Amino acid sequence: MVSQDLLEILRCPACVREKEGLLTLEKDSWLICQECDRKYPIVDDIPVMLIDEGDKWVATSVNELPVPPPEPK
């Protein structure tokens, strides 16, 4: 589980320069940007905050996100 302190400081790497890039925690396994809808998986309690990884899941609805998320390739 990702700590609340870490969740409060993490921001979407694609949005943070121009917007707030606030993230919400979904299914205890995903961080979703409120600005761009990129979805970043949390694998082994470590958020994978790579823009390319977030891009892979933009078109996937929250209900269809796999739990646990797959390992990044």
**Which domains does the chain possess?**
4-60 (2.20.25)
- pLDDT score recorded for residue 2: 82
Asked whether residue 3 carries a pLDDT value surpassing 90, the answer given is no
Asked whether residue 11 carries a pLDDT value surpassing 90, the answer given is yes
29 neighbors 42 (Cβ within 8 angstroms) = yes
The confidence band for 1, taking pLDDT boundaries of 50, 70 and 90, is confident
Q: How does pLDDT run across 15-49, given as a tens digit for each residue?
A: 998 999 999 999 999 999 999 999 999 999 999 99
Comparing CA positions, the residue from 28, 25, 21, 27 lying closest to residue 51 is 21
Question: What pTM value is reported for the model?
Answer: 0.92
- Please provide residue 42's backbone torsions phi and psi, each rounded to the nearest 5 degrees: -110, 110
What 3-state DSSP class applies to 30?
strand
